[in-house]
Structure 1
């Protein structure tokens, strides 16, 4: 029997020098009883674990933490967030414009459903688009770009409420989801130690888009003869070449996962469940000023064009708020950065009704933008600690975002009902601020359940 085993092992060793993982497997095989070798000689099938395609995947090298390819992925992903989340962050301009023009006969909560549906689908569809990226890689990016640009073109010709729901709400959200989840997962594969910093740089693209789009849209809608249709089409023409670049550069680093499309194990992971709940609360609080700050400013007597510029101020401040806290999170812990960002955002949202003058609204916009900038990039970096296998990052991030995105579907319409019922923003700020505070506290409770404790660098 020893001779047979030697004959079997000899050719395998001569084909290639064993990796450390292979040496462990060989050691395990050598410790198997003789009947395991007899089964190999007799041609019996190997155990199922040996034929698992993921177990046959070569060892995945450590993340490079940089290099030309990695930074091209970061730039392409930044273009994606500039085009997608940057556009979503301007919905306050659409909210104010729709209520004065095409949808003036609809209530604020009805109009808010358009933006809420976009925000929900772009994250909610991640339950499907995340696993699709893990399975098919970059092949999902180009279709997402085509769908998104097409949705913007269709939005430009909409006149009825149901048309805006289908084009700007549903179709644009699907295209955004295919793009954004791919960007999150790709960047996470190239960076480990610097992951929060890299994701902060990527998501800062949405802040830059949130600076440019509100100013451009407000100027075109309120200060030019272009009209609504051509104003939206101009935005689509700006976005199209950026997404074309992203379609070429955003590529995964690791081989695709060839087993189950969905990972049920995530829902047995306490960290994953608690962080998803935390994202839900933080998203409710974060979206309120993005949707209603221009409307609130107009109610305080501010000029509509100037009120639209507040979103640009918010996004300018969040550019810094996404990069600097990301760098600190890599040093002091990703959960620390996410939790502190959620708590700080909640406190600031609670104070929204106290900003009554133009100067106060500008200062408030800067403070909210900086604090809320940590949430999107911080949430993705936090979710990434739930798995050690980079091939599962897209699925984990996609599923977590999908569940948490119900906040996007619930929060803005509830705020619209509160506004329509009480004709003021006090109740709106209380509801949203408390939700964000709860989200930040849940992150800290997640840390308390881990070996490092509340004060650990997690």
Structure 2
């Protein structure tokens, strides 16, 4: 595919195909489309995150419920292992990224609005079909695979469209949009738990599906390409047939793909995704192992997402001020510290530390991990234009989403196998190997982030803000 040089240059490239500098943020007009157009983009993106991603990342509610049902007779999960239940959520999270290259092509060929709205319908129908499921594999296909595909179709175009509208305040805008996941993560767990306790988990699935279809369909209408970027998209898709172009994956420019910064960025994406989701899925189950009731355990998901909501806006603002690549590296480092300094020590409640200390450590971990671990979801797309140039943005974005999905698909279920299902709700120490694995993966991701930071600086004068 022919690459086009950006009409609104963000970075130029040197003779090695690497970005070599930024145009001053102030040189690009920020309000040329009117203030309310920008507000609509942010509000619509927020709404998509509030439904699709928030519901996927609150799978811990279902994980805990399904594990409880696994110990009961005559349920769809009777005798099912923790790892197989965990696979439902893992498939959803993996596919929401792995389909990125295809979804980017569809968004360019048929418009982001169409893809997002169809994705909302697929997402909602997946929940409704799951409510009629009778066996584990039914849930794996519906609440896992189909839900992940629907999320991908709504989430990836949203995250691709939004950065094209902003420059100087891109980090803040993306932080507000992604904070929808945190707000949804505060709202959905107690709501779902109340519905489950009142009318059952099947009706909870149906209600979640109907609400999702409505909200994502409404939001999708406002999420089109920024007009200047739309012109680039038209050039990039010249010669592509709308009849069969949907099966073509945009190939990344080889000169970009073989640079050290792309290899480091791809490695960081893979490693973060491999480690990131495990604590999210097991918040409620781990809290049960510490002795909390089912209702209180679910509240840990809410606490994490409340921290997530506040931090994403603050981190987004700080990223614009101090550099998006810097923010990506330091938030990954802080999430690594949270695992080793707080989650792992809390697991020794039964041996070396008091119960109150273990509770305090886990509460602190929940807040810190919620605040920093998920920051890369908003900082990752916000930093790509700076790293690889606007002309490479869509192909790089799709490729890295695929890599992220592969990381989640491999890392999360393998880590889940380290947690014996027979003691998942009663013993905290059995999470030790999984916790160490998560910490190591995030530490390796931190190293990759700092390598990206160093590579982004090569060939240019020293700059702190990157």
- Going from structure 1 to structure 2, the CA distance change for 1:179 and 1:62 (only over 3 Å counts) comes to farther
Deviation sequence 1:210-234 (CA, Å, 0-9, x none): 111111112222x31x111111112
- Going from structure 1 to structure 2, the CA distance change for 1:365 and 1:54 (only over 3 Å counts) comes to closer
Residue of structure 1 equivalent to 2:373: 372
Deviation >6 Å, runs of 4+: 57-61
Q: Does 1:425 align with 2:391?
A: no
Q: Given the alignment, which residue of 30, 39, 44 partners 1:64?
A: 30
> What SS is found at the alignment partner of 2:417?
helix
Q: Does 1:187 align with 2:162?
A: yes
TM-score by length of 1: 0.82
Q: How does 1:39-438 map to 2 (within 5 A)?
A: 62=28, 64=30, 67-101=35-69, 102-138=76-112, 139-221=114-196, 223-224=197-198, 226-253=199-226, 254-255=229-230, 256=233, 257-259=236-238, 262-265=250-253, 266-350=256-340, 351-355=342-346, 356-357=355-356, 358-389=359-390, 392-420=392-420, 424-438=430-444
Q: Which has the larger radius of gyration?
A: 1
Equivalent residue pairs, number: 404
In structure 1, C-alpha distance between the alignment counterparts of 2:3 and 2:446, rounded to whole Å: 39
- How far did 1:54 drift? 5.3
Answer whether contact 2:339 2:365 (CA < 8 A) is retained: no
- How far did 1:382 drift? 2.4
Residue of structure 1 equivalent to 2:464: 456
Deviation sequence 1:36-84 (CA, Å, 0-9, x none): xxxxxxxxxxxxx9xx7958x9778946367211221111111111111
Deviation sequence 1:355-409 (CA, Å, 0-9, x none): 354444333211221122412112222233233226x533322221111222211
> What SS is found at the alignment partner of 2:47?
helix
In structure 1, C-alpha distance between the alignment counterparts of 2:48 and 2:373, rounded to whole Å: 19
Answer whether contact 1:281 1:407 (CA < 8 A) is retained: yes
Relative to structure 2, which stretch is displaced further, 381-390 or 302-311?
A: 381-390
In structure 2, C-alpha distance between the alignment counterparts of 1:234 and 1:406, rounded to whole Å: 30
Relative to structure 2, which stretch is displaced further, 61-70 or 201-210?
A: 61-70
> What SS is found at the alignment partner of 2:157?
helix
- Going from structure 1 to structure 2, the CA distance change for 1:444 and 1:453 (only over 3 Å counts) comes to farther
In structure 2, C-alpha distance between the alignment counterparts of 1:53 and 1:203, rounded to whole Å: 29
> What SS is found at the alignment partner of 1:249?
coil
Residue of structure 2 equivalent to 1:36: none
- Going from structure 1 to structure 2, the CA distance change for 1:59 and 1:93 (only over 3 Å counts) comes to closer
In structure 1, C-alpha distance between the alignment counterparts of 2:333 and 2:374, rounded to whole Å: 13
Extract unaligned runs of 5+ from structure 2: 10-26, 70-75, 241-248, 347-354, 424-429
In structure 2, C-alpha distance between the alignment counterparts of 1:199 and 1:314, rounded to whole Å: 19
In structure 1, C-alpha distance between the alignment counterparts of 2:328 and 2:208, rounded to whole Å: 32
Answer whether contact 1:285 1:436 (CA < 8 A) is retained: yes
- How far did 1:284 drift? 2.7
- Going from structure 1 to structure 2, the CA distance change for 1:368 and 1:88 (only over 3 Å counts) comes to same
- Going from structure 1 to structure 2, the CA distance change for 1:147 and 1:131 (only over 3 Å counts) comes to same
In structure 2, C-alpha distance between the alignment counterparts of 1:190 and 1:204, rounded to whole Å: 18
- How far did 1:421 drift? 8.5
Residue of structure 2 equivalent to 1:24: none
> What SS is found at the alignment partner of 1:405?
helix
> What SS is found at the alignment partner of 1:213?
helix
> What SS is found at the alignment partner of 2:336?
helix
Deviation sequence 1:305-350 (CA, Å, 0-9, x none): 1101100100000011111111111111111101111111111122
Extract unaligned runs of 5+ from structure 1: 1-48
In structure 2, C-alpha distance between the alignment counterparts of 1:354 and 1:416, rounded to whole Å: 19
- How far did 1:453 drift? 8.1
The structure with more helix, counted as a fraction of residues? 1
